[in-house]
Structure 1
Amino acid sequence: MNDDDFGLLDTDDTLEIFKLKNVPSSKDREEADFVARRKPIKDSEFTTYEPAFLKVHEELRKGLRKLKPFDSTETNLEEGRFYILDGILLFLERVDVEEKERKIPSGNRVRKDGRTRIIFENGTESNMLYRSLGKQLLNNGKIVTETDSSIENELFKNANIVNEDDTETGWIYILKSKSTNKDIASIKDLYKIGFSKVDVKDRVKNAKKEPTYLMADVHIVSTIKCYNINPHKFEQLLHRFFAEVCLNVDIYDENGRRITPREWFVVPLPVIDKVIDLIIAESIVNYRYDSVLQDIVLRS
């Protein structure tokens, strides 16, 4: 078809083969899934949720919570979190997902999908698909951040209780980029701080094909095995602590899509290690990072 230099096949009849009839687009399917499964819930049931919505609005007004961009279903969409979609506050109460491995050019990936239960502040609910919700939020949604106290309470609960029956929750990791891009390689003290539910070596083996790793191989500086704590909450605290020195750069994947990684920070390694120790000691709330001094200081 591509060798038709004279356009002999470029007619209305031949071009019809490219027009799919009676097959809805993926976007149409997602929107239909979103709309069709929204229904009112009983007033008596909604009264158990309404105070939480009012509290979130109050905490947003006071600055205890903030609205952040939603840029990844895999890392941003969590059970028990609040989100803004098309200007409406929603609570993702439950996620009944299954993880299935699929093959893509850059290697095997685990893909999650399944039904959810979502409560909206207007008194409706939905059981739309997990990935459909993620795509809707990517199009026109925001994350409502948790309050500092809720993150810390979740992180420190049972954090120091480890016994032989425990299994790893995941791994906090610190990486350094091997990028040859002069704009990246020239940055001193640039590190990625994140977490993985699988072995970090397996997680980063295709780093040079993934924008989140700056399309380059990485050096594993250190890994921290987590027991009885939520590693994602651990990561959130680190990211909040170093938000002022988060790397702001756009990376393009092999298909030309622009992605802005959010887990790279310009901060000396000893400071990162010190902050991790403070989190484990449950005293991080007493400190902040001073980007001018490049050190941790007591909160005033």
Structure 2
Amino acid sequence: MKRYRSLNEIFAEEDELGLLADVKPRRSNTTSPDDRNAKIVAEVNDFYEANGRLPDENGQTIEEMKLGTIWRSIKGSPTELMMAADRNRLLGYGHPVSGSDAPISEAPTKPEPSWRDDPDEEEVPLSLDDIFADDDEEISEALVGLRHVTPAAERENPAHRADLFPCEDFEVFEQGFLEMQEKLESGEREASPVEDRQELRVKEGDYLIHRGLLAYVAEKTEHTRRGGKPDQRLRIIFSNGMESDPLMSSLRKALAADRTARAIHRPGLGPLDPDWHSDALELTGTIYVARSKSERPEIKEVRNILYKIGVTSQDVRRRVADAKNDATFLLADVEIIATYELRNLSRMKIEDLLHRFFDCARPSGLTITDRFGKKVFPREWFYVLPENVAEAVRLIEAGTLHLYRYDPSIQKIVSTGD
């Protein structure tokens, strides 16, 4: 195979196949500076004819700013080609055909102020009154009005705050704190730090160390949703005789921010171990019946037959204080219709018993959509009357509830023999 030393040797040979027959020399697309300047002059003339003024290097659009900047740089040195393209004599010189090179006045244009220029002294306002007095424009309320924003008064005075307050039944928990302190000192119980970003699973009966105090989880309420995620409100008792009722999410944040926070391990090997529940106290509480104040049409129209049955170990008024932000209360304030004190009865067992007894009257399609678009299915609301709940409580106290059932068709409690 023949080897070539250069392209010239290749092209010097005869083109037997005619491969180069249609090849044409490439034309250069480059233009001279004078041609480019003449083109700019033509564009400036087009702009002048369309707008009645010269392009401003401080104009409103990038195209005008660019054209104005180039125009300012080339108009001081016009060439014959540029003047030939100057239809409106914007360069300030007569055309060559006129036989005169005397300058003529530039097209009448008023220079527009630039934001780069310093303002005149008389234009600088001396006070806010001068600014508002000079404002003749009416501002639409849509531009300054805030929507979907909680008013400042409501943010500063929330309906419910998880502050510390005295625990009225502290004597119920005091002995447990003393025993837990002894177990920690003897090594019978261990405490481990709460790690950053650790999703601590808090259960009723758990002990924690927070801000140097022993803390006891006395109660977890029914599930709700906050920030689009499942949440629960807690009742936390502290060893100094105070208590608080934060949300589970708030407690986790507080523990993560506390470098001294510790989680105290429960005994045994897990929930199946008989000793696992030794820390949980059988707290008594209060049964309450609440009616919703929601203005939602589907709830408002059944307000007189739809009631929430709940049991809590804390003050009922405090339990419902944050109802309008709690999905378990249908995201609305409630009215307490009746309360019943429990005596020597397990709060959790009574609540479960009442909910199972009235289960046939539970609304199947009752849902609440929170502000994040998540659906919540409240499980503590029933189509019952307050007197039905009162009768069920009397039967529980008498130990005969198992002999009766609730008939939702007639809204009455009847004997199981009927």
After TM superposition, the score normalised by the length of structure 2 is 0.36
More contact order relative to length (CA 8 Å, sep ≥ 6): 1
After TM superposition, the score normalised by the length of structure 1 is 0.48
Structure with more strand by fraction? 1
- Larger gyration radius, structure 1 or structure 2: 2
